[in-house]
Amino acid sequence: MTCSSCQAKVQGLLSKIDGVKKVSINLQKATADIEMANHISINIFQSALLEYPKYQITEAEPTPVIMPFVQTNSVNLPIHYSNCFYRFL
């Protein structure tokens, strides 16, 4: 992926998927960082891109994320972030 028009098109298609909270696409690395409410199968993302067959998407190795904590009275509760990392072919 080399241009911002393609980036916007793919980002828009992926953002329409139910449960997707945020999509960030890195043009230089040809990767998408997708934040979702619950896990969404790679097949759903691949289906969303059928409308724009110039790009395909596969799962990539996740980058470790440091989990923040919320302190409530005397209990520390981890905030759960559901992120998946994908690479464009």
Secondary structure (DSSP) of 28-89: TTTEEEEEESS---HHHHHHHGGGSTT--EEE-PPPP-PPPEEEETTEEEEPP-EEEEEEE-
pLDDT digits (tens, 9 = 90+) for 2-60: 788 888 998 999 999 999 999 988 888 888 888 888 888 889 999 999 988 888 888 87
- Alpha carbon distance 17, 81 (integer Å): 17
The average pLDDT across 64-81 equals 48
Q: What pLDDT was estimated at residue 86?
A: 59
The model's pTM is: 0.68
The average pLDDT across 55-84 equals 57
User: CATH classification of 4-88 is 3.40.50, yes or no?
Assistant: no
Q: What pLDDT was estimated at residue 12?
A: 93
